[in-house]
Amino acid sequence: MNEQESTSTRPYLIRALHEWCTDNGFTPYIAVRVDDSVQVPREYVNEGEIVLNVGFDATSGLQLGNDYIEFKARFGGKPRDIMVPVGRVIAIYARENGQGMAFPPPVDLLAAIEDGPAQPDAPDAGQEPEASRVVQLVPTEAGPDGDDPRPPAPGGASRPALKRVK
């Protein structure tokens, strides 16, 4: 099997980090870039992204497949079927300490960055292109029912941030 025929490493890394979180008593969260192929409650999508708790305590029937992540979860007390194409996952991390992994953005985002409108200020030679900048996950506002998927850090400390480093 050559490089073009090999499968993506993303689903394997997601499963490995999910297992690592679970084995260490952490809560695995995934950050997902939402489009029409992602089946999630749209009212919880913020700026085209959603963060989902994929721990066994928060899900039912969790399947971390090579093509899709599927499970049932409650949002605002209502059960929902969730289906996320693995290619739309942009990060998986432990809620408690922020350790995990960020992935390159989906192909459609890279194309939008490359084909997007001309930037008024061209990046300096020393700057990185948009697609390779550091990714940082930050807390978002609470959902419509007041549930915040990321509780505050113990002791009032600021939450750790997941950063992509090359």
- Domain enclosing residue 131, as ranges: 10-118+125-156
In a domain, 166, yes or no: no
> Higher pLDDT residue, 93 or 163?
93
In a domain, 4, yes or no: no
* pLDDT computed for residue 106 by the predictor: 81
Dump pLDDT digits (tens) for 63-117.
Answer: 999 999 999 999 999 999 999 999 999 999 999 999 999 999 887 654 555 555 5
Q: State the total domains in the chain.
A: 1
* pLDDT computed for residue 109 by the predictor: 55
SS3 155: helix
What CATH code is carried by the domain that includes residue 140? 2.30.30.220
* pLDDT computed for residue 158 by the predictor: 56
Dump pLDDT digits (tens) for 33-70.
Answer: 999 999 999 999 999 999 999 999 999 999 999 999 99
Closest CA to 102 of 27, 161, 37, 36: 161
In a domain, 71, yes or no: yes
In a domain, 65, yes or no: yes
> Higher pLDDT residue, 29 or 145?
29
* pLDDT computed for residue 29 by the predictor: 97
Report the Cα 34 to chain-centroid distance in Å.
10
* pLDDT computed for residue 124 by the predictor: 47
Q: For residues 60 and 143, give the distance between their C-alpha atoms in angstroms, rounded to a whole number.
A: 21
In a domain, 2, yes or no: no
In a domain, 55, yes or no: yes
Q: What is the DSSP string of 4-28?
A: TTSPPSHHHHHHHHHHHHHHTT--E
Residue identified by tokens 């979860």 is 73
In a domain, 163, yes or no: no
Could you tell me where the beta strands, DSSP code E, fall in 49-142?
Answer: 49-53, 60-64, 68-75, 78-85, 89-94, 100-102
In a domain, 111, yes or no: yes
